[in-house]
Amino acid sequence: MKPSRSRAFWPMTIAGLALSAYGLVGLLGEKQIGDLMSWLTYFAGGLLLHDLLWAPLVALGSFVLVRVVPARVRPVLQGALIVTATVLLVAYPVLNGGGRLPDNPSILPLDYSRNIVIVLVAVWAVAGVLIVRAALVPRR
Amino acid sequence: MVRLPRRAVGERLRRGRSVGEVLEEELAFARVGPFKDGAFPSPLHSERIASILGVALGVAFLTCFATGLISHFAQQPTDLGFLSMPAAPAWLFRFTQGLHVAAGTAAIPLLIAKLWTVFPKLFAWPPVRDLAHVVERLSLIPLVAGSLFMLTTGLINTSSWAPWTFSFTAAHFWTSLITIGALIVHIGAQLPVTRRALSRTAARDQPEPANVADTRGAGLSRRGMLISVAAAAGVATLTTIGQTVRPLRELALLAPRHPDMGPQGIPVNKSAVGASVVDTAMSPDYRLTLVGRDGQERTLSLEELRALPRHEAVLPIACVEGWSASARWGGVRVRDLAAMVGGPDGVEVMVRSLQKGGSYSSSQLNAAHVRHDDTLLALEINGETLHIDHGFPARLISPNRPGVQQTKWVTRLEVI
């Protein structure tokens, strides 16, 4: 389906590209930017990791899941996996603990390995209840 | 698609086919793997879901952008006229920066889900249609790379971790402009699609299959997917936002900070050891130097400082990394100290730390902040003498300012 272009297309494209170009020029001209190669690694790295690793892995996972898991429990399982993946991603920096400093215990003060278990147990407890319910409810 | 035996390009051209036709045929032969029709069977790769997630992401990104700009300008030199940070309301900076980090965190599942939904479009056929389509598709590179960069580096930075060798503040700022620019291009290109997908007629024309569970290859319904993504954003928010919303602190299981944990029950960003000020801050030779506009100087020992009129203020320390904690501070008003070296009403004050070097070893107070009753050179926190990590012997505390500008271990105030 070929989308029609809105009248705002070219004005917004030009304005947006101008802002992006200003950002790029600013970045390259910034005296305090530090290592630009490191910036490029993170900038391009996220895109490549997503498109070449994450997306194919999720596709493969979905392919297997659809064939292995019965249809009635599939939705809850998928939902729980979405929440689990998010929690693990968001918790990765605190679990890694790279920010810890011996002279400042107020940074990352909690026991995150224990806490991630608590959060995931709670998520899967809810999912478990929903799965049992989905399995018990008679088919319409 | 029926595949016919493929003839050589030259042969087809000799048989009188036009170059355009042959090119189209060749392109069709290249259509394999994810480029094929039906390569992505899930009904969740829909314009409607992409549009709903897109609008939610747009709101999150613009929230992050606006609150990020507030922080950026709060940390600029103060002579910006009407753009200078006001001293009231005191909670404004804490609120905007808590929101900045919370919106960025919640955007993580939204972005991942959105990229999943539109992933088949990466293999759209034909790859490009016209110039507008080329521009639109190319702008997705800075959009996706920038979005992932902003959310990833922002998240990692909240944990005080810097696995990179670029300057976070500079890179996070400039890359936000690159990303928001690409977002504006994207919105301009997708407006008609979004409008179509979110209209009532669209919902009526593409109803959800009545019994999704029975269709082959199906799993989550459209509503189910959106609920799951919302739940993911909700869990991520609930387990972290307690670092700034105190009533939710016991739920903040995954937050990099706890608002009650630190010396004297308040978190610290830079310790005295980290700033190499232990010896100078504890030295009996400590003096506070006041410098007037005319160059006159006055030095005060800690005892003399303690003997000056004492005031109290309840103010938050609010960090751009998304945590904040309130305390009752006791100390001397900065405007009283400025007046001791002849600083009239309306002056600005440069505050210098014992810390040597580093971009946060000094900060500038604008006129509104100097004038404010609650702007103190604090000597006490919650009734106790300041812990050295909170800036003993004296630190600045002032309403509606970034935590990094609440200069610690203050040794010099210059009226300017």
Residue B77 is predicted with a pLDDT of 65
User: Is this prediction's ipTM beyond 0.90?
Assistant: yes
Nearest to A20 among B116, B155, B177 (CB): B177
Nearest to B171 among A10, A33, A103 (CB): A33
pLDDT of residue B300 exceeding 50, the answer is: yes
When pLDDT is cut at 50, 70 and 90, the band that residue B39 belongs to is confident
Contact list, B254 vs chain A (CB under 8 Å): 87, 90-91, 94, 112, 115-116, 119
- The alpha helices in B159-293, defined as continuous H runs, are 168-198, 200-205, 222-238, 278-282
pLDDT in tens, B111-167: 999 999 999 999 988 888 899 999 999 999 999 999 999 999 999 999 999 999 999
pLDDT in tens, B316-343: 999 999 999 999 999 999 999 999 999 8
Q: How many CB atoms lie within 10 A of CB B119?
A: 19
Contact list, A91 vs chain B (CB under 8 Å): 239, 254
Contact list, A124 vs chain B (CB under 8 Å): none
Residue B149 is predicted with a pLDDT of 98
Model confidence, pTM: 0.92
Residues 6+ apart with CB under 8 A from B324: B94, B97, B98, B243, B244, B259, B316, B317, B318, B403
Interchain contact, A104 vs B268, CB within 8 Å: yes
Task: Return the SS3 of A49.
Answer: helix
Contact between A73 and A131 (Cβ < 8 Å): yes
Q: How far is B344 from B359, CA to CA, in rounded Å?
A: 28
Give the residue on A whose Cα is nearest the Cα of B126.
A2
pLDDT of residue B357 exceeding 50, the answer is: yes
Give the residue on A whose Cα is nearest the Cα of B210.
A140
Mean pLDDT within B23-41: 83
Read off the tokens for A49.
């990791």
Q: DSSP letter for B382, please.
A: T
Give the residue on A whose Cα is nearest the Cα of B249.
A110
Contact between A3 and B192 (Cβ < 8 Å): yes
E strand or H helix at B337: helix B334-340
pLDDT of residue B30 exceeding 80, the answer is: no
Q: DSSP letter for A139, please.
A: P
Minimal C-alpha gap between B47 and chain A (Å): 11
Instruction: Give the strand pairing for B297-300 and B349-353.
Output: unpaired
Nearest to B177 among A4, A23, A46 (CB): A23
Nearest to A75 among B159, B161, B224 (CB): B224
Interchain contact, B164 vs A18, CB within 8 Å: no
Nearest to B274 among A20, A75, A104 (CB): A104
Q: How far is A84 from A80, CA to CA, in rounded Å?
A: 6
Contact between B44 and B55 (Cβ < 8 Å): no
Interchain contact, A30 vs B170, CB within 8 Å: yes
